[in-house]
Amino acid sequence: MDILVDFSKSVDALITLPASKSISNRALIIRAIAGESSPIENLSDCDDTDVLQQALISVQQTIDIGAAGTAMRFLTAFFAQSFSRECVLTGTERMKQRPIRLLVDALEALGAKISYVDKEGFPPLKIVGKELLGGTICLKGDVSSQYISALMMIAPAMQNGLKIELIPPVISRPYIDLTIHLMKEFGVVVHSNGNCIEIPHQHYKMKPFVVEADWSAASYWYEILALKKEGEFFLKGLTQNSFQGDSKLVDLFSQLGVSTFFEETGVRIVADGKPIAELKYNFVNQPDLAQTFVVTCCFLGVPFHFTGLESLKIKETDRIFALKNELLKFGFELEEPKNGELKWNGNKQNVMEEQISVATYNDHRMAMAFAPIATKMPIRIENMEVVSKSYPTFWKDLCKAGFVFSEKIN
């Protein structure tokens, strides 16, 4: 369904953010490897986590994980080390275009038995589970951190443990650090020294665990305040010392006029400042924030030069293309100086169209990053349902904050 989004009143609301899917998905994989049933509270109820949960208990030979990239990477590693289990992992047409060769090659080097069902280097995958020997592998650090995290989480189950030597540069390191933190939380020893990660053979020790709220989801509420330039929100469930890399948005949005105040049960964010004249930042460690900041800066009139965006082209869609294409509808012409970069010089062309329709490319973050534009002008969001991938209650929460929709939001 497409919806017309408008805005009718000042900004003030208490929002219960979704649980972190990054933490939820890692905790589920670790629990499955441990073979225990300790409770995990506040699990994310997004599509990606639901798909992962169902896959872990499925007895089907073919498992369709849809558009869930994290599930594809994590489950490839998990099933590769699952004794006496044979399955085929498949997904959407877009998933079949997302490369996975580096992870498969690494797993095969460690003793896994995996073959490609169709196109070499891409899903679907046929996996025959077996005990993995482990050992030492070298991996390029500028590939998806999910490959690295997938290998790390199954490492304790390998006969000889695992030593990963990462070849610089290493991107999205906070996601690797998050995996290390959670593995330690569940009782295993991880030695991390620079670009070398060593994990001996051992066993996870499960315990009751509560998943914290998602900092990536918080970014859209910061964006609303930055664009509206007034009001405040209380975002429930966020913590100050989070291992989520996207918590960096606190510092970044302080430069765009939004302040953060940490309280016992979450954070209060307030639009109380002016944006800087120009924003330059390397998103190598926070790629999922890129769309939020590109859109925010354009509509604030803040020129920017963002780097570290190489991984955006292999996400749910080619996010570089999608951003350039959709922002051009509003008169913003983005430059791509080189691979992994986006730049805007501050110029905007006049646009005659009164009601612009934003395509979402089956990408949840496209829908959520563009929705706050409704604080400036009515816009139409195509295929609104895509937000279920990470934030199923997004539209309902916007209703609480004064957004108005052409269709009833259930």
| Residue-wise pLDDT tens digits, 232-258 | 999 999 999 999 999 999 999 999 999
In this predicted structure, what is the pLDDT of residue 331?
96
Residue keyed to tokens 């590769």: 80
Parallel, antiparallel, or unpaired for β 125-128 and 113-116?
Answer: antiparallel
Helix (H) or strand (E) holding 227: helix 215-228
- Please, what is the angle between helix 290-300 and helix 215-228, to 10°? 0
In this predicted structure, what is the pLDDT of residue 232?
94
Residue keyed to tokens 């994990």: 199
In this predicted structure, what is the pLDDT of residue 10?
62
Specify the DSSP class assigned to residue 348: B
Q: What is the Cα–Cα distance from 17 to 44, expressed in whole angstroms? A: 10
Parallel, antiparallel, or unpaired for β 113-116 and 258-263?
Answer: unpaired
What is the rounded average pLDDT for all residues in the chain? 93
Contacts of 63 by beta carbon, 8 Å cutoff, 6+ apart: 55, 75, 87, 88, 89, 90
* Residue 288 among the catalytic residues: yes
pLDDT in tens, 271-329: 999 999 999 999 999 999 999 999 999 999 999 999 999 988 878 889 999 999 999 99
Parallel, antiparallel, or unpaired for β 266-271 and 279-282?
Answer: unpaired
Largest Cα–Cα distance in the chain?
65
pLDDT above 90: residue 179: yes
Contacts of 59 by beta carbon, 8 Å cutoff, 6+ apart: none
Options 288, 318, 363, 397, the catalytic residue: 288
Q: Contact, 20 vs 214, CB < 8 A? A: yes
- Please, what is the angle between helix 145-154 and helix 101-109, to 10°? 30
Q: What is the mean pLDDT of residues 93-100?
A: 93
Contacts of 43 by beta carbon, 8 Å cutoff, 6+ apart: 19, 24, 27, 28, 49, 53, 211
Q: What number of other Cβ atoms are within 10 A of residue 306's Cβ?
A: 22
In this predicted structure, what is the pLDDT of residue 2?
66
Q: Contact, 128 vs 55, CB < 8 A? A: no
pLDDT in tens, 136-163: 999 998 888 999 999 999 999 999 999 9
pTM of the model: 0.89
Contacts of 300 by beta carbon, 8 Å cutoff, 6+ apart: 226, 227, 256, 275
By CB atoms closer than 10 A (0-12, 13-18, 19+), residue 337 is exposed
pLDDT above 70: residue 8: no
What six digits make up the tokens of 150? Answer: 């997938």
At 171, the pLDDT band (50, 70, 90 cuts) reads confident
Q: What is the Cα–Cα distance from 259 to 15, expressed in whole angstroms? A: 17
Q: Contact, 334 vs 324, CB < 8 A? A: yes
Delineate the domains of the chain, giving CATH numbers in brackets: 3-18+213-405 (3.65.10.10), 21-198 (3.65.10.10)
pLDDT above 90: residue 114: yes
pLDDT above 90: residue 36: no
* Measured CA distances, 29 to 75, 112, 157, 215, 343 (Å): 8, 18, 12, 21, 38
pLDDT above 80: residue 410: no
Phi, psi values for residue 91, rounded to 5°: -165, -160
Pick from 90, 350, 115, 376: nearest CA to 224: 376
pLDDT in tens, 374-394: 999 999 999 999 999 999 999
Q: What is the mean pLDDT of residues 363-372?
A: 96
Pick from 402, 401, 403: nearest CA to 17: 401
Q: What is the Cα–Cα distance from 34 to 186, expressed in whole angstroms? A: 9
Q: What is the Cα–Cα distance from 393 to 372, expressed in whole angstroms? A: 15
pLDDT above 70: residue 83: yes
Q: What is the mean pLDDT of residues 183-198?
A: 96
In this predicted structure, what is the pLDDT of residue 347?
93
Report helix, strand or coil for 137: strand
